[in-house]
């Protein structure tokens, strides 16, 4: 999966969890919580969707690594290198 695919995967998951949120204009380097309304349950849903769709287990101590789209890419790239983008 490319970095662009990872960004798209995260956006797709956000749309699934929070369908009213606008993800097209999300900035890579700004915290997702500062850009859209995500509460802690929404965040846990994102983590669960990553596991369900891509088999990626994110331990609780690494949740901070998923703060922005760029940090998601940095953290997830090694885990998703051999995966395909799942379209929903």
What would the mean pLDDT of 39-56 be, rounded to a whole number?
Answer: 95
Architecture in CATH of 3-80: Orthogonal Bundle (1.10)
Q: Kindly state the percentage of the chain with pLDDT values over 70.
A: 99
What would the mean pLDDT of 60-87 be, rounded to a whole number?
Answer: 94
CA distance 8 to 58: 18
What would the mean pLDDT of 30-46 be, rounded to a whole number?
Answer: 94
pTM (predicted TM-score): 0.92
Helix (H) or strand (E) holding 48: helix 40-54
Q: What is the pLDDT of residues 62-75, one digit of tens each?
A: 999 999 999 999 99
| Residue 87 confidence class, pLDDT cut points 50, 70, 90 | confident
Look at residue 36 and tell me whether its pLDDT is greater than 90. Answer: yes
CA distance 86 to 52: 11
Centre a 10 Å sphere on the Cβ of residue 14 and count the other Cβ atoms it contains. 22
């Amino acid at each position: 999966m490319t970095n662009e695919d990872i960004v798209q995967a995260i956006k797709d998951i956000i749309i699934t969890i929070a369908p009213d949120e606008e993800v097209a204009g999300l900035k890579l380097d700004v915290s997702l919580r500062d850009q859209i309304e995500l509460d802690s349950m929404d965040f846990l849903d994102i983590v669960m969707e990553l596991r369900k769709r891509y088999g990626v287990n994110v331990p609780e101590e690494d949740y901070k690594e998923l703060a922005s789209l760029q940090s998601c890419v940095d953290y997830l790239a090694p885990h998703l290198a051999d995966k395909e983008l799942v379209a929903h």
